[in-house]
Structure 1
Amino acid sequence: MKVIVIGCTHAGTAAITQMARLYPQAEITVYERNDNISFLSCGIALHVGGVVQQAESLFYSSPEQLAELGVHTRMLHNVLSVDTKAKTITVRDIMKDEIFTDTYDKLVVTTGSWPVVPKLEGIDLDNIMLCKNYAHAQAIIERAKQAERIVVVGAGYIGIELVEAFEQLGKQVTVIDNTPRVLYKYLDREYTDLVEEAMKQRHIRLALNQSVTGFTGEKGRVSRVITTVGEYEADLVIMCIGFRPNTELLAGQVDRLANGAIIVDDYMRTSCPDVYAAGDSCAIRYNPTRQHAYIPLATNAVRMGTLVARNLIEPTVKYMGTQGTSGLKIFDLNIASTGLTEQAALDAGLIVKSVTINDNYRPEFMPTYEKALLKVVYQEASGRIVGAQVLSKADLTQAINTLSVCIQNRMTMDELAFVDFFFQPYYNKPWNLLNQAGLQAFAIDQHEAKL
């Protein structure tokens, strides 16, 4: 069996290492157009902020390690086209500038994603940068040394993490986003208000509800960011407005979403026989809505890559879907979310309710305790849990992993009220915060039933 893998980041590395172990007789060839593999891009902000001193520690595999597994890794090789009917690919060896063709029995597409780069006036000015790979990380660190005024465009997870890193380096930081709140996709207003207040206390400028329309510069280098509201001085601009799947190789050959994300079934199979896909190049089943969605997360990628290997010969292990579970530490706040926010649920046409618990996470007789803010969103008719968020100075983020399982298993608030959670004063109260949320929803529903 001859297997070709295109792309070697999270999903690709997971698929390759598992296939090498499961099918030792297979001939596995990896084509990667970059000069490195398996870079944890989610650690870039930590590296920029000095938490992670060596960027090299953000790699978790290498061509040498794959070679030990019997895998042929061809770095700096760009796949130009794929012919799924002939089962061939056309490749350019970047170093030799030579083009050749290779054949496959099974094709695994893990081409990942790339930052969205809008076509704006001045976008090509020097010191306007992307944040995705190892080269970006190194360049950002070098340019930031000479920059005092830094503008981050995009207030999602990556953008906010970079804002924190630059603030800790003593920079004057502005964050611009076209939504009314930071972290709009991940958190409801109760949470973003707290995050924004923490940012303002640190003199970070929030330029929200406005879109970037262009850039101006001096001597070829950016000096101002122009928006629909005003202008902001900048020595360095980082663009973090989202990602697009890299899937043009399969355009017209497999089913895709409107944004180009490849649609796969529960066994990571595309609509084309013997072609599999995983990671940021794919759409996946989003359990809260039971629809396909584009959710580029490293956790999704490694799971999907592993499942490609498990199902390469025959379908054996089904994908369980995703809740889009994620976490963030910003300043002294520990934040995590899963599933739909209340706003996202309403936007999706769901009729939902929510309960919010704002309580100390452990008994007040303990020497110290912190406030915890927990919100659970559920469908009004069935009580089925569809989303949750938590925030505290204490690290309570594992509660969101528990609620992720609840969403995956289609649990209701009534069931959550009486789940068996331990009590120990160091960690919680006799009624766990999650139990409290279920009990509060139960009480509300009982009260409304009587009216």
Structure 2
Amino acid sequence: MKVVVVGCTHAGTAAVKTILNEHPDASVSVYERNDNVSFLSCGIALYVGGVVKDPAGLFYSSPEELASMGAKINMEHNVKNIDNENKVVVIENLKTGETFEESYDKLVMTTGSWPIIPPIDGINSENILLCKNYNQANEIIKESKNAKKIVIVGGGYIGIELVEAFAESGKQVTLVDGLDRILNKYLDAEFTSVLEHDLQERGVTLALNQTVEKFVANESGAVTAVKTPVGEYEADLVILCVGFKPNTDLLKDKVEMLPNGAIVVDEYMRTSDEAIFAAGDSCAVHYNPTGGSAYIPLATNAVRMGALVGKNIVSPTVKYRGTQATSGLYLFGFNIGSTGLTENSAPHFGVEVRSVVVEDNYRPEFMPTTEKVTMKLVYEVGTNRIVGGQIMSKYDVTQSANTLSLCVQNKMTIEDLAYVDFFFQPHFDRPWNYLNILAQAAVEQERKLAK
């Protein structure tokens, strides 16, 4: 069996390792445009902020490791075309300019995503940077050394983590976002209002509900300001973090895709072309809270899907369990976890929900210390099925987001969570775990509504 793998970050690395581990006789050729594999882009802000001193730790594999397993690794090679009818790929060696072809029995598309670059006036000015890969991380570090005023465009996880990194290093930071709240996809207002207040207390300028109209540059072409309908914000450096789009042009009109270009795969990671598998940020995922497809580019999705490509490359063996888009964030001392639908996002997916918010201590008050935990549970009207949850505390409660994730995946109800067996030990929690208490509040809310 001859396998060609296009792209080798999270999904590609996981696919190659699993294929070679389970099918050591397979011939696996990898083509990657960059000079590295398996870069953890979620660690960029830690690298930029100096928390991670040695960037080598942000790579969990290497071309050498994959080669030692038996893969033929071709770094700095760009796949230019795919002839899926004849099962041939056309490749360019970026170092030499040579172009050649290679045939395949199975093709694995793990080409990932790329930052969205909006068509804004002045977008090509100097010192407007993207934040996705290792080379871009190094460029951000280099350019930020002499920058005093930094504007981050985009208030998602990457943008917010960069805001923290630069604020901690004494920079004057402005965050611009077209939505009215930060972290809008992951958290509801009860949480974002606390975080926004904290950011402003630390001197960060929040320019929310504002879209960028223009990047203002000086005579030498370097950016000097970011202009919105509300005002103009001075900048020595701008970093764009407005989202990602799937990198799937090679398969356009060749396999089924969502309107945004995300490849549709079945539960065994097969595309509509039986010889082509796909995984990671280039794909749509099965979103368990709604039962439909969604585009959710996360490393956690990528490594799981990539591993399943390896499991299913010969025959359908292990099904994809879907995702809840579970995520965690550490921001200025707050530990935050989120999974599934928010109250704000549910209407966009056509799901009618109710929610409860509870604040409680994570362990008994008689202990020497404790911390408040703010929690929210989102559940479907009529079925009481849990479809999402959020949790935040100065104490690390983020693993509870994984518990809520399992509740969503297994279609548990608020009653299931209200009375499920959790241990009690005063060092760690209360006789009723805080997640029990949260779900019990939802049960009580439903009891009152039923009267």
TM-score (norm 1): 0.99
Q: 2-side partners of 1:309 and 1:347: how far apart?
A: 34
Q: 2-side partners of 1:363 and 1:325: how far apart?
A: 28
1:103 aligns with 2:103: yes
After superposition, residues 26-45 of structure 1 pair within 5 angstroms as 26-45=26-45
Which has the larger displacement, 357-366 or 165-174?
Answer: 357-366
One-letter code of the match for 1:108?
V
The match for 1:89 is 89
The match for 2:366 is 365
Q: 1-side partners of 2:358 and 2:348: how far apart?
A: 23
Q: 1-side partners of 2:54 and 2:222: how far apart?
A: 28
The match for 1:57 is 57
The match for 1:312 is 313
One-letter code of the match for 1:424?
Q
1:202 aligns with 2:196: no
After superposition, residues 62-141 of structure 1 pair within 5 angstroms as 62-141=62-141
One-letter code of the match for 1:73?
I
**Cα offset, 1:23, TM superposition:** 0.9
After superposition, residues 378-417 of structure 1 pair within 5 angstroms as 378-417=379-418
The match for 2:221 is 220
Which has the larger displacement, 294-303 or 52-61?
Answer: 52-61
The match for 1:18 is 18
**Cα offset, 1:357, TM superposition:** 1.1
Runs of 4+ residues deviating >3 angstroms: none
Q: 2-side partners of 1:166 and 1:133: how far apart?
A: 18
Q: 1-side partners of 2:258 and 2:286: how far apart?
A: 12
**Cα offset, 1:347, TM superposition:** 2.7
One-letter code of the match for 1:178?
G
Q: 2-side partners of 1:341 and 1:285: how far apart?
A: 17
1:183 aligns with 2:222: no
Q: 1-side partners of 2:449 and 2:196: how far apart?
A: 35
The match for 1:266 is 267
One-letter code of the match for 2:244?
F
One-letter code of the match for 2:91?
V
Q: 1-side partners of 2:8 and 2:448: how far apart?
A: 55
**Cα offset, 1:448, TM superposition:** 2.1
One-letter code of the match for 2:375?
L
The match for 1:168 is 168
**Cα offset, 1:351, TM superposition:** 1.6
The match for 1:351 is 352
Percent identity over the alignment is 57
Provide, for residues 19-42 of structure 1, a one-character-per-residue CA deviation record: whole Å limited to 9, x for no partner. Answer: 111111111000011111111111
One-letter code of the match for 1:295?
I
Q: 2-side partners of 1:56 and 1:417: how far apart?
A: 44
Which has the larger displacement, 223-232 or 436-445?
Answer: 436-445
Structure 1 stretches lacking a partner, 5+ long: none
**Cα offset, 1:247, TM superposition:** 0.2
1:248 aligns with 2:249: yes
Provide, for residues 305-332 of structure 1, a one-character-per-residue CA deviation record: whole Å limited to 9, x for no partner. Answer: 0000000011010000000000000001
Q: 1-side partners of 2:375 and 2:57: how far apart?
A: 34
Q: 1-side partners of 2:188 and 2:383: how far apart?
A: 22
One-letter code of the match for 1:103?
S
**Cα offset, 1:346, TM superposition:** 2.4
Q: 1-side partners of 2:421 and 2:340: how far apart?
A: 22
1:156 aligns with 2:156: yes
After superposition, residues 222-237 of structure 1 pair within 5 angstroms as 222-237=223-238
Provide, for residues 221-254 of structure 1, a one-character-per-residue CA deviation record: whole Å limited to 9, x for no partner. Answer: 1001111221100000000000000000000000
One-letter code of the match for 1:289?
T
Q: 2-side partners of 1:299 and 1:242: how far apart?
A: 17
RMSD of aligned C-alpha atoms?
A: 0.7
Q: 1-side partners of 2:421 and 2:5: how far apart?
A: 44
Q: 2-side partners of 1:211 and 1:446: how far apart?
A: 44
TM-score (norm 2): 0.99
Which has the larger displacement, 246-255 or 344-353?
Answer: 344-353
The match for 1:322 is 323
The match for 2:450 is 449
One-letter code of the match for 1:379?
E
Q: 1-side partners of 2:350 and 2:256: how far apart?
A: 25
**Size of the alignment, in residue pairs?**
450
One-letter code of the match for 1:411?
M
**Cα offset, 1:57, TM superposition:** 1.5
**Cα offset, 1:213, TM superposition:** 1.3
**Cα offset, 1:44, TM superposition:** 0.2
One-letter code of the match for 2:156?
G
Matched position secondary structure for 2:344: helix
**Cα offset, 1:348, TM superposition:** 2.2
Q: 2-side partners of 1:282 and 1:259: how far apart?
A: 10
One-letter code of the match for 1:376?
L
Structure 2 stretches lacking a partner, 5+ long: none
Matched position secondary structure for 1:262: coil
One-letter code of the match for 1:55?
P
One-letter code of the match for 1:94?
L
Matched position secondary structure for 1:124: coil
Q: 2-side partners of 1:180 and 1:23: how far apart?
A: 50
After superposition, residues 291-306 of structure 1 pair within 5 angstroms as 291-306=292-307
Provide, for residues 414-448 of structure 1, a one-character-per-residue CA deviation record: whole Å limited to 9, x for no partner. Answer: 11111000111111111111111221122222222
